[in-house]
Amino acid sequence: MQLATSLCSSAVAAWLVLGAFGCSHQTELEPAAGATKLDGDIAWVGVQGVQILAKGDDWEGDQALLDQATPVYLVINNRGYRPLKVEYSKISLVNERGQEHLILEPSSSPDSQVREWALAEGVIPPGGNASGYVYFQHVPGGLDRVRLDMELVDARSGDRFAIAKIPFQTD
């Protein structure tokens, strides 16, 4: 747990500092071969009544963000029978080397647009939906594939009932 806390603290520090220094390459995500696609650039998956749509190439905010983070827009539709708990700690982006790109808490960003457009943590009741951006540590060029994983958690019991996986290729 101490390592995870340390890594999160480092990620938040990088999130705050990188705006001044930046990275050298902006990376956008496109649905990979094998992903179920909608309109060509939206990937989606359905797992036990939960539909997740993900788009990694439509950031229309301050373009400087793309030098420091990789935003992914999510739409989550809960068509299941149990309330779904959405937490940033249950969403990850894993590269082809098995390395995880940490999710960046929008509340730690000085950019109000980042906070305003973020996916809200909370509970999605049956029949409900939520949408917004999740922000990951910058995905560097040179990686061919990453995968968005989201643990689906029953808000009543706290039990994980599935993992949604969406493959992307880097642009």
b/e sequence 146-155, b meaning 16+ C-beta within 10 Å: bebebebbbb
DSSP state of 62: -
| Cα–Cα nearest to 103, from 94, 92, 111, 114 | 92
Number of domains forming the structure of the chain:
1
Altogether, the residues listed in the chain come to a count of: 171
| Cα–Cα nearest to 58, from 69, 37, 72, 45 | 72
The CA dihedral of 12, 133, 42, 144, to the nearest 10 degrees, is -10
pLDDT tens digits for 89-134?
999 999 888 888 889 999 888 899 999 999 999 999 999 999 999 9
Domain of 161, in residue numbers: 2-170
pLDDT tens digits for 14-71?
333 333 333 334 678 999 988 999 888 999 999 999 999 999 998 999 999 988 899 9
CATH of residue 60: 2.60.40.2550
pTM score: 0.83
